Structure 1
C-alpha cells in the first residue's frame, strides 16, 4: 500500500491548505458536465477569474514561493481563463473532462494522476533539484530546488510549481484504470468548498474512497 501526503515543511508554510483526495478504481465515462459549466459561467458573469477568492489565494501563494502569478497560473485559473475566452471546455478524457468541469465550477485546481505510473508513495514537497519531470512533449526537466512538486519514491516529479503543470508521465490516457484525484485550496472557505467538491466528484464517480487531509491527518493510503 502506498500513501499520498504533503510534507511537513509545506504545512508549516501554508497552514491554511485544505487538500481533498479520491482514489478511483473504475469509471464509466458517462458524465454530464452541464451543471458545472453553468456554475462557472455564472461565477464569471461580469468579472474575471482573477477576482475570485480561490484564485487570489493561489496567486498569493505563488508570490510567497517567489513565482510571478501572471507567468505561472494555478491550473484552475488557467482553465477559467481559457473558458472565459472560448466558452468551451476542451475534451481530453472522460475523467479529465469531469474533473476540469468541477475545477471550473469551484475555481479550485484538481489534479488527476494515473497510479500505474507512480512509484510508491507520492508527496507534495519542496524539490531538491534532482527530480525528473517528463513533459507532454517527451522532454525531461529538472525542477528548481525549492519548487513545489508532486514527487514519488523514484524521484519522478508528477507536477511542477505545485498546481501549475502536471507531468506527461502520469497523465490519464486510454487504458488508464486507477486514478488519484487531488484538489487543493487555500482561500478562507477552503474547508467547506473542498469538502463540497470531493462530495460532488464522489457522486459522479460512484462514491470512491476519499478524504479531506489536514496538518494533523496528512496521509491518504491507497
Structure 2
C-alpha cells in the first residue's frame, strides 16, 4: 500500500509539511495513561491562560480552511476541535489506546493527526480533491458525497476516509477493538511545521514502541518526495 498527497495539493499549499507512520501489531489491551498524561501536560503549558486560536499551528490551519472557501470557525481542524474540548473540559474521553495516544499527541503539538484502520482502506490512500462521486460513511452510518473540489483522503475504490482535509474522518476506517494495523498521518502548515511534525512523529513512535513493542515505519513527506510505501 502507499500514501501520498496529489501534486496540486503541494502546489496550492507549498507551506504544507506532512509525516506518516505505519504500525502493525496493535491491540487494545494496553495502557497509554502515562504517555497521555505527559502529552496533556504539554498541552496545558502551551494553552496557559490563552486559547487554542492563539497558537500558530491553529492559525495556519484557519488560514488554509479560509483559502479552501470554508468558514474557519464553522469547520475546524481536528487539532483545534480537540484543543477546544480539552480546554473546556480538562480531559478527553477514552476511545482506544492508539486513538487516546494520538489525540494526546495532537493536543501537545497542536497538529491534526489522522488514524486509519488499514483493513478498511483499499489499495492506497491519497489526499486529493474530490470529483464529487466519492462515498463517505459518517460515524452514525449515513453516506455522504463530498463536494467537487473538496480536499479528501480517498482510497482505490473511491471511498472518502476524511472530509474537508483535516476536519472530519470517516467511520469506515475508524480504529476499533479488532484493529491490528494502522496508518497515522500528521499535517501542518505553520512556519516551523517541518521541524514540529518530525518531533511529533518521533515522540509518537517512541510511545508506540514502548507500549506495543513494535517499531513503526516513518516517513516525512514533501513535494519532491510525496509518497510513503509500506507493506500490510
TM-score bucket (shorter structure): over 0.9
The separation in 2 between residues aligned to 1:47 and 1:125, in whole angstroms, is 34
Is the contact between residue 58 and residue 80 of structure 2 (CA under 8 Å) also seen in structure 1?
A: yes
Does 2:95 match 1:92? yes
- Secondary structure of 1:30's match? coil
Aligned-residue CA RMSD (Å): 0.7
Aligned residue for 1:212? Answer: 220
Structure 1, unmatched stretches of 5+, are: none
TM-score scaled by structure 1?
0.98
Q: Which of the residues 132, 141, 146 maps onto 1:138? A: 141
Aligned residue for 1:11? Answer: 10
- CA displacement 1:70-123 (0-9 Å, x = unmatched): 000000000000000000111100000000000000000000000000000110
- The size of the alignment, in residue pairs, is 221
Aligned residue for 2:182? Answer: 179
Q: Which of the residues 114, 134, 139 maps onto 2:117? A: 114
Aligned pairs for 1:30-179 (under 5 A) are 30-31=31-32, 32=34, 33-179=36-182
TM-score scaled by structure 2?
0.94
Structure 2, unmatched stretches of 5+, are: 210-214
Q: Which of the residues 178, 193, 196 maps onto 2:196? A: 193
Is the contact between residue 74 and residue 164 of structure 1 (CA under 8 Å) also seen in structure 2?
A: yes
How far apart are 1:27 and its partner, in Å?
A: 3.3
Q: Structure 1 residue runs of 4+, over 4 Å off?
A: none
